[in-house]
Amino acid sequence: MKGLVIDEPWISKILRGEKIWEMRTTTTAIRGRIALIRKGSGTVVGAADLVDSIGPLDAIACRAHRDKHGIPSNHDDALLRWNHAWVLKNAKPLVRPVVYHHPNGAVIWVNLADSVAEQMLADHGTSCLAGLPRTVQSSIPKSSLDAPQPQVAAKSSTSAGIPEGSSLVPVAKCGNWFGPYLARAGKFTIGAKGEEVSYANYDEALSALRTMPVPRWRRPNSKGNWGIVTGVRWRRPNELTTP
């Protein structure tokens, strides 16, 4: 996934919906869902669709579209150089910034590790990652970008009983992961203590876990006692084994 480095105050304007043109000195051929990186922070703070690149624009066009790029008139001289508009749509801030590794020399774009995109998905659900470019979809199961997950009995299943291509699942520090084997009296119980909710359908329970700031669910320990565990990472079902 590509991350675009943007300085303040512009990135905050983009995330607030006050700016849809990011002005740059050159055109770009990149299209699709991108991460938004706050310059100097070491974190991804949002995501947006990069849908077009317009320019070079003359001074008249830049002034006429001030409502789109948000650059005040006292900076018009800079627009003589920053005269290409990278058009952004559907910008969304993340609930919590996601830390990434910033390589030396990266000024405009950063090639983010797949783990960063997976963390964005784990923390923030499908809305921030919908429409990811194919290069990222190859590392994240496609159906994990669609919510909620329908139950599809016709698809082949893994040994764990989860359909191929299913969503990432939460994994606790102890290694326990949320799977169909956790049904108790035909139901799956999720949520923090005192806020627990039970679902008869596994896909519905998994979708609900993905909307939680911190996923929690009930599972039996080695002695068979059922208690609540907290997810600390997300993994693909075919990477896991059923206890």
pLDDT in tens, 16-54: 999 999 999 999 999 988 999 999 999 999 999 999 999
As to burial, measured by CB atoms within 10 angstroms (0-12 exposed, 13-18 middle, 19+ buried), residue 217 is: buried
Per-residue DSSP letter, 212: S
Domains, the chain, in order of start with CATH, read: 2-140 (2.30.130.30), 169-239 (no CATH)
Q: Tokens representing 32?
A: 């699709």
Determine the number of helices (DSSP H) and then strands (DSSP E) in the chain. Answer: 6, 11
For residue 100, name the pLDDT band (cuts at 50, 70, 90): very high
Phi-psi region of 210 (alpha: psi -120 to 50; beta: other; left: phi over 0): alpha
Q: Residue 177 has what DSSP assignment? A: B
Measured between alpha carbons, how far is 26 from 36 in angstroms, rounded to an integer?
18
Q: How confident is the model at residue 124 (pLDDT cuts 50, 70, 90)?
A: low
Note the pLDDT of residue 193.
85
In this predicted structure, what is the pLDDT of residue 147? 35
**Dist CA 131 CA 88 (whole Å):** 13
- The position carrying tokens 């740059």 is 24
The DSSP element (H or E) to which 63 belongs, if any, is: helix 59-64
162-193 pLDDT, tens digit each: 333 346 888 888 888 898 989 998 899 998 88
Res 44: pLDDT: 93
